[in-house]
Amino acid sequence: MGTSHRHKLGVVGQPNWGSVSSSITGLANGVAESDMLDNNPPANMTSRQKSKRQSIIGARINKNYHHAVRNLLRASGGRAKVSNGQSRAFGYAGIVVAGGLVGTFQEITNNGLIPWLQRNGISSLEGMSCRDILDIIRKYIDNGVTGLDDTAAKEALEHVMDLLESRIGDDPLNFEKIMNNLVGSDEIKNLLDEFFGVYIYSFLSQSFAEKLEHEKGTETMYATMLEIKEQIIDDIKTGKNGRSVATVDWNSEDGKNFIKSEFDRILFILAGNEAVSYTHLTLP
């Protein structure tokens, strides 16, 4: 994956950036206490007492994680604004790049890889590796995307490209077959979920990891960010969207609305809500 870059959060007048930071600090305190309890428990603590204490700490970590996401959404203008891509603080670049990702894949599936490359200045596959092709597609998708969250979106895009490279292998001739199978099935929805998960994690990491390292030290910072990443992965696997997307036109309004609704569903769950109670907001 690409290199993370720290950015300064910048919604003027919004106090909730501090609330996000406080929640992550609280999460870090829990992670540090849990690690200490594992590695150096009090001599007089029984196994039962340790298990009970770890359960309490785990609940506190989980609560702070969900509060961090919830406060991030509030500071960015609310879940609806973020999932619609209307917040320049968080959400905009994620929606733009996610749409570019699936839309470009569909263009390649519909028209063929070589014609698509030719329209983008590449006349032949000769001498090109799978990675070369994916790099061209990546640069095409993220070209001109700017915003506070653009680095996180590019990190997530790079993650998806890495996943595709591992599936396609070294033979560019496999490219169209894999792409057709992907776009013509619900696998593309799983790819979108992967994208949004890494996007959210990368944004939090870029925004708060450096401050956390300064306050709590490198070891606690890394353990905390790993905890956040694992929580996001687990949550995204919860309550999968049951709608089939095999026939979705990703370059149509229906496709664009599906991307927004899937992002909205993920944010709803990560904010600590139950997947079974999710009701999709009406998106324009």
Give me the pLDDT at residue 201, please.
97
Q: Model confidence over 202-219: pLDDT tens digits?
A: 999 999 999 999 999 999
Distance CA 106, CA 271 (A): 31
Give me the pLDDT at residue 42, please.
93
Give me the pLDDT at residue 50, please.
94
Give pLDDT < 70 ranges for the chain: 1-16, 239-242, 275-284
Give me the pLDDT at residue 12, please.
43
